């Protein structure tokens, strides 16, 4: 079995050499079949024309893969010409058997392959019928006709079966390739989406923490030599914020370096109280109001809500100006979480400064859940961010 598979594999890898060797073998078989069985007394003696009628169909084997229909047509015409010319024995029968097999196997248009078989069979029956009724030596017998029909039909059937099997294998391989390409595409999209998510997380972490650090540093600089205790308190807040920020960044960067890295617990809405304290320490008074009964929400809703509040407060610290205040409202509805973050800062004047990656990230988070986001100057002054995040009913 392994030997046959190895031979078939070699023939597929070297088709021209394989076909040349096959044609050579068929030519060598012509010599014994031309003298055995013993020719009938009235058979025409083999001459140059007879040998050409036998050799040319064998030569047609050289292009049986590239042009199977043409090769079969040449073999059929010359082979039948050999038979009706009353030359001895089978002539190009072996070559025709191989050409029939090749036409069935290598013709991609199955209708053409079937038509070629039908035409060949009709012509074969016409030639044998003529020989059966008009050959005085009775060389063409009913048994000979049946045997030839069976051999030729089986050769075509063998090629057809192999062609169908190879087509099925090719289809399966094509499906596997398409599936692999689709899987690779989906994986690439998933990786890109995950990296985009991580980039948003990194932006939110750095933007908020650095805003707190900058505000604290500016305050400490103004108080140097005036209120050392306040300066030390500001420096302590900077140190605490920096350490927290560094740990968060290490966690996010670790996700980029290691596919198997374990995720740290995601930020939750309950952690917003910590944001309020941070902002208060940085000089931005913030009030937090909760409407409805707080409840556990899906992790991504909790994270997105936290990041929206964080980014809104970061923008307020950066753009609202001195003596501004902020207010957070979390409204736990039956089917959505409503978030509102307002400040009493510069409003319309600051709205242009708000336009950046932070608002884009917030909008992407909200739209991912089919929610709505509004951000802009509010009536009476200041800036407002309102987000509605649909959630399942508890």
321: domain CATH number is 3.30.565.10
End-to-end CA distance of the chain: 65
Question: Which of 109, 140, 171 finishes a domain?
Answer: 140
Q: Does residue 276 sit within a domain?
A: yes
Supply the pLDDT for residue 264. 47
pLDDT at 32: 72
How many domains does the chain contain in total? 2
Q: What local confidence, expressed as pLDDT, does residue 194 receive?
A: 61
Whether 246 maps to a domain, the answer reads no
Residue owning tokens 């010359």: 78
Residue 73: the pLDDT is 92
Among positive and negative, which fits the CA dihedral 281, 283, 285, 290? Answer: negative
Q: What is the 3-state secondary structure (H, E, C) of the chain?
A: CHHHHHHHHHHHHCHHHHHHHHHHHHHHHHHHHHHCCCCCCCCCCCCHHHHHHHHHHHHHHHHCCCCHHHHHHHHHHHHHHHHHCCCCCCCCHHHHHHHHHHHHHHCCCHHHHHHHHHHHHHHHHHHHHHHHHHCCCCCCCHHHHHHHHHHHHHHHHHHHHHHHHHHHHHHHHHHHHHHHHHHHHHHHHHHHHHHHHHHHHHHHHHHHHHHHHHHHHHHHHHHCCCCHHHHHHHHHHHHHHHHHHHHHHHHHHHHHHCCCCCCCCCCCHHHHHHHHHHHHHCCCCEEEEEECCCCCCCHHHHHHHHHHHHHHHHHHHHHCCCCCCEEEEEEECCCEEEEEEEECCCCHHHHHHHCCHHHHHHHHHHHHCCCEEEEEECCCCCEEEEEEEECCCC
- Who's near 314: CB < 8 A, 6+ residues apart? 204, 207, 208, 211, 358
Q: What's the Cα-to-Cα distance from 113 to each of 75, 124, 322, rounded to whole Å?
A: 15, 16, 87
pLDDT of amino acid 336:
92
> Which of 85, 120, 140 lies at the terminal end of a domain, its last residue?
140
Please, are residues 63 and 22 in contact by the beta-carbon 8 Å criterion? no
What's the pTM? 0.48
| Integer Cα distance of 296 and 312 in angstroms | 22
In a structure prediction context, what are the per-residue pLDDT tens digits for the chain, which is 394 residues long?
Answer: 555 555 666 777 788 898 999 889 988 888 776 656 556 656 677 888 988 998 999 999 999 999 999 999 999 999 888 888 878 766 788 899 999 999 999 998 889 988 988 999 998 888 888 877 776 666 777 888 888 889 999 999 999 999 999 889 989 999 989 988 898 888 778 667 666 766 666 666 666 666 667 766 776 677 677 776 776 776 777 776 666 666 666 655 555 555 544 444 567 898 899 889 888 887 889 999 999 999 888 878 888 898 899 888 988 888 877 788 999 999 999 899 999 999 988 765 555 554 556 777 788 888 888 899 999 888 878 899 999 999 864 4
- Res 393: pLDDT: 46
Q: Would residue 164 count as lying in a domain?
A: no
Supply the range of the domain harboring residue 293. Answer: 268-394
Q: Is residue 260 part of a domain?
A: no
Tell me if 314 is assigned to some domain. Answer: yes
Instruction: Give pLDDT, residue 68.
Output: 93
Is the Cβ–Cβ distance between 340 and 386 less than 8 Å?
yes
63 domain-assigned: yes
Whole-angstrom Cα distance, residue 250 to residue 264?
11
- Asked if 287 and 328 touch (Cβ cutoff 8 Å), the reply is yes
> Of 82, 111, 140, which marks where a domain is finished?
140
> 75 in a domain, yes or no?
yes
Is there a domain that residue 145 lies in? Answer: no
């Amino acid at each position: 079995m392994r030997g046959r598979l190895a031979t078939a594999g070699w023939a597929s890898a070297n088709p021209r050499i394989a076909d040349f060797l096959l044609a050579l073998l068929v030519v060598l078989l012509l010599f014994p079949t031309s003298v055995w069985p013993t020719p009938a007394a009235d058979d025409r003696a083999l001459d140059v024309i007879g040998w050409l009628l036998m050799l040319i169909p064998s030569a047609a084997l050289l292009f049986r893969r590239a042009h199977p229909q043409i090769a079969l047509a040449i073999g059929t015409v010359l082979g039948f010409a050999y038979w009706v010319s009353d030359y001895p024995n089978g002539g190009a029968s072996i070559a025709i058997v191989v050409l029939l097999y090749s036409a069935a196997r290598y013709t991609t248009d199955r209708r053409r392959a079937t038509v070629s078989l039908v035409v060949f069979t009709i012509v074969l029956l016409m030639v044998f019928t003529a020989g059966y009724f008009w050959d005085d030596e009775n060389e063409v017998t009913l048994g000979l006709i049946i045997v030839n029909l069976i051999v030729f039909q089986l050769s075509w059937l063998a090629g057809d079966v192999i062609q169908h099997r190879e087509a099925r294998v090719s289809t399966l391989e094509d499906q596997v390739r398409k599936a692999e390409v689709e899987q690779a595409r989906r994986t690439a999209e998933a990786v890109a989406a995950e990296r985009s998510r991580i980039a948003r997380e990194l932006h939110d972490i750095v933007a908020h923490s650095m805003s707190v650090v900058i505000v604290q540093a500016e305050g400490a600089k103004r108080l140097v030599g005036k209120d050392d205790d306040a300066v030390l308190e500001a420096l302590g807040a900077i140190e605490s914020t920096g350490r927290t920020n560094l740990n968060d960044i290490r966690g996010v960067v670790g996700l980029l370096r290691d596919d198997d890295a374990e995720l740290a617990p995601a930020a939750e809405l309950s952690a917003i109280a910590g944001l309020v304290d941070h902002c208060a320490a940085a000089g931005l008074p913030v009030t937090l109001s909760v409407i409805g009964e707080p409840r556990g929400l899906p992790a991504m809703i909790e994270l997105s809500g936290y990041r929206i509040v964080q980014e809104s407060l970061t923008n307020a610290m950066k753009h609202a100006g001195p003596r501004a205040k902020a207010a957070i409202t979390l409204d736990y509805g039956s089917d959505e979480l409503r978030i509102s973050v307002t400040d009493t800062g510069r409003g319309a004047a600051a709205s242009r400064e708000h336009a950046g990656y932070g608002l884009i990230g917030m909008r992407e988070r909200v739209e991912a859940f089919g929610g709505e986001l509004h951000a802009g100057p509010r009536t009476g002054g200041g800036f407002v961010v309102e987000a509605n995040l649909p959630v399942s009913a508890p």
